[in-house]
Structure 1
Amino acid sequence: MDNRTAVSSKWTKTKLLTRSALLNAHIPQTRRLSGESLKRMLRRYGMVYVKPDTGSCGVGVMKLEQTRRRWIVHSGARRRTFPAYRALFQWLRSSTNGRPYLAQRGVRVIRWRGRPIDFRVMIQKGGKTRWTVTGTAARVAPPRKAVTNGSQGGTIYGARTLLRRVTGTKRAARTLGQFKALARATAARFSHAYPRMRELGLDIAVDRAGKCWVLEVNTRPDPCPFTKLSDKAMLRRIVRYARGYGRCYDLRCRKARRGGG
């Protein structure tokens, strides 16, 4: 795949999506991280994720929460508490080492056995054919962690299987349909801006009211989650499409855990 189709900046990708009225309604409010932007978002939402503008695999992502009398940071499996916002931000500035970071509204997602769930949706374009959703997998966060990435020890389940367990059969079917619609709308935006784009991996969350949120779009997605599904049909389809545009994947996936479905 041509390097010109890989977009590393999360801020650039977010701005591209928010120019679409349809997609903007499904993008959590995102701002460049600063003392003022983070304070305002914590006051408004109570929970904010901060993430590096460039990076992958959930590395550097932290969850911040504000309660009435304290500020809490979840970083990896560790939890830190601060008595004042100034102390929190000083620690955060030291931890981020001057790297550009983003602050994103925290979504209170559906859970499985008390652990957060999100979904990886793969959409690819093969040859002259239109964009096709080639795979969807559910990712469950490891115990005590706020991120679901397989590289952070997340557990991978079949999306339909887990959604049915958590939300019921009818709502699961509607949600999977929403995933496909969001993936196609996202692919249309990206392919207009980057005509050589051939694959995207969307990270989508579902909140407790059933609304879908696009947390992030990966322009060079790792098919790792799909190697952990018992049904290999999705993985075979993803690999077949990728070969068509010249990409070969490393299918070794050591840290993710196998769930079911």
Structure 2
Amino acid sequence: MTIGKMKKYREMLSIPGLRPHLPETHWATNSRILRMLKVHSSLFIKPNHGSGGSGIIRVRRLRRGYEVRCGSSRKVVGPSSVLRAIHSFRKPKHRYLVQKGLRLEKYHGTIFDIRVYLQKPKQTWMIAGVAARIAAPHKFVTNYHKGGHAESLQRVLLSLFQNNQAKVDAYHQKIKNISITVARTVNRSHPIHELGVDLAIDKNGRIWIIEANSHPGHMLFTQLSDHTMIRTIMHNKRLIGI
């Protein structure tokens, strides 16, 4: 069962505790894209159905015109050609969302986000794994299948917050609370037992929900030197029967 991104976004938007963590997202019509480009310096245009970072288009405002990227392809165009460039990367008969771009924090000069792997082997949601995903060089997505690699979230947050352990602990708790709430929210309408929640931290320290994936990949956790999380994930999969 694949749940569309917009359906999950609207379900999360209905929860007051999640609303401040959701970047502005709409169906990607031409008029909506142009309106959002006037307000935001970058946008992400994503297929409603899809995973692994495939098919995501980034539009970034330049001093004159825009840069439009999808995978390793890149076009620099003027304002009158930006929609044409976007459509050249879109797959026909696919619906797309447009999402406000975020100014994300970096780890050693590279963007990262946070993958939280949640499972419900019995009656209660639990966090089986959490890791930072570091983007590959020159990539704007962090997905494992796009060259992203895992790093200990503890190590990344300590670097980000200058070894302030109290602040790191506070962020760990916020990440846990948001992720559990996302899982419970999506589970209300959908019979799922696993969920991958992708979070990011912006330059102001705000936590954002990037996506909730009902078919999360677990290979990222095999890259961690400590194999406790991947063992927990695989154990729970056997309990769930998947």
Q: Tell me if TM exceeds 0.5.
A: yes
Q: Which one of 230, 238, 241 corresponds to residue 236 of structure 2? A: 241
Q: Distance in 1 between matches of 2:159 and 2:177?
A: 22
Kindly state the Cα deviation for residue 36 of structure 1 after the two structures are TM-superposed.
1.1
1:104 corresponds to which of 77, 96, 99: 99
Paired AA for residue 159 in structure 2: R
1:144 aligned onto 2:138: yes
| Cα-to-partner distance string for 1:27-82 (whole Å, 9 max, x where unaligned) | 11111111111111121121111111111110011211123421111322343211
Match of 1:125 among 116, 120, 129: 120
Return the letter of the residue paired with 1:188. Answer: R
C-alpha contact 2:77 2:85 (8 A) present in aligned 1: no
Selected match of 1:201 from 196, 205, 208:
196
Instruction: Give the match for residue 258 of structure 1.
Output: none
Q: In structure 1, what is the Cα distance between the partners aligned to 2:72 and 2:118?
A: 31
Note if contact 1:17-1:23 (Cα within 8 Å) is conserved in structure 2: yes
Residue correspondence of structure 1 range 11-90 to structure 2 within 5 A: 11-84=6-79, 86-90=80-84
Structure 2-normalised TM-score?
0.94
Q: 1:202-231: per-residue Cα shift (whole Å, max 9, x none)?
A: 010111111111100001111111010000
Write the distance in 2 (CA, Å) between the matches of 1:217 and 1:119.
12
Aligned to 2:85: 91
Q: Which amino acid aligns with 2:40?
A: Y
Task: In structure 1, give the amino acid aligned to 2:157.
Answer: L
Once the two structures are aligned, what percentage of the paired residues are identical?
Answer: 29
CA distance in 1, matches of 2:171, 2:2: 27
CA distance in structure 2 between the aligned counterparts of 1:204 and 1:59, rounded to whole angstroms: 18
Take 2:2 and 2:10, find their aligned partners in 1: how far apart are those partners? Answer: 12
User: Are 1:8 and 1:55, in contact at CA under 8 Å, matched by a contact in 2?
Assistant: no
Q: Please, what is the CA RMSD of the aligned residues?
A: 1.3
TM-score (norm 1): 0.88
Alignment gaps of 5+ in structure 1: 1-5, 248-261
How far apart in 1 are the matches of 2:108 and 2:3? 33
Aligned amino acid, residue 44 of structure 2: Y
| Contact persistence 1:75–1:145 (CA under 8 A) | no
Matched residue SS, 2:18: helix
Gaps of 5+ in 2: none
- The answer (yes or no) to whether the contact 1:126–1:198 under 8 Å persists in 2 is yes
Residues 1:155 and 2:185 aligned together: no
Moved more, 161-170 or 21-30: 161-170
